[in-house]
A and B are shown apart, each in its own frame.
Chain A
Amino acid sequence: AQTVTQSQPEMSVQEAETVTLSCTYDTSESDYYLFWYKQPPSRQMILVIRQEAYKQQNATENRFSVNFQKAAKSFSLKISDSQLGDAAMYFCAYRTGTASKLTFGTGTRLQVTL
């Protein structure tokens, strides 16, 4: 079974600084996708970034980027120039290439301080 592990229950970053959230996963599949979702206090799930396992290049979306280490099964999220609006729960998620259902990690609560 696939598992997703987020070892940091809480993280804190100062506004304008950079923070990295960790995620590791376990799978025997070769075709899969990885995601980071943000869940603000409204509890609406928002896709932050996605990575296809077959792509070597790390995905980037504006201030958000990932460090995808396939051999190590690691998928960390870097948030640059942190903003107050980035404060939320962040979930790492995985799905295989053939199935649409997502397996989520336990989440990391990010606080952004002034």
Chain B
Amino acid sequence: GAVVSQHPSRVICKSGTSVKIECRSLDFQATTMFWYRQFPKQSLMLMATSNEGSKATYEQGVEKDKFLINHASLTLSTLTVTSAHPEDSSFYICSARVFGPASEKLFFGSGTQLSVL
């Protein structure tokens, strides 16, 4: 199946700093990628939909100025957590949409565990 590479897998940062997470589609072009957040022992919550060449669409309650999403190419989307605070500590997962001959599929990255001290 298609491979989605997400880096870094784990990051620890100080409060007030910014962290960038990358999501790459390795063997296909992804016009649309999705960013999810998962708090401990909870479900995945969609944060935003990232479209190549256009502004991301954010879900209600997600601060777009805090979670900056850039999808400048068909194989790369980035999520930058700006001025991170301890409450931003979470597991962040990206997924990319692939259109196949008969259906649409979503492939997930391996996730990034963000810990803000």
Contact = CB atoms under 8 A, between A and B. Distances in A.
- A contacts with B: majority SS: loop
B49 A104 contact: no
A87 to B, nearest CB: 16
Contacts of A42: 110
Give the size category of A's interface with B.
Answer: 10 to 19
Nearest to A35: B106
B interface majority secondary structure: strand
Contacts of B32: 100
Contact of B111 (A44, A91, A101): A44
Nearest to B9: A43
Nearest to A100: B97
Interface of A: 42-47, 91, 100-107
Interface of B: 32, 34, 42-46, 49, 91, 93, 95, 97, 104-106, 108, 110-111
23 contacts: A42-B110, A43-B91, A43-B110, A43-B111, A44-B108, A44-B111, A45-B95, A45-B108, A46-B108, A47-B106, A100-B32, A100-B34, A100-B49, A101-B34, A102-B34, A102-B44, A102-B95, A102-B106, A104-B43, A104-B45, A105-B43, A106-B43, A107-B42
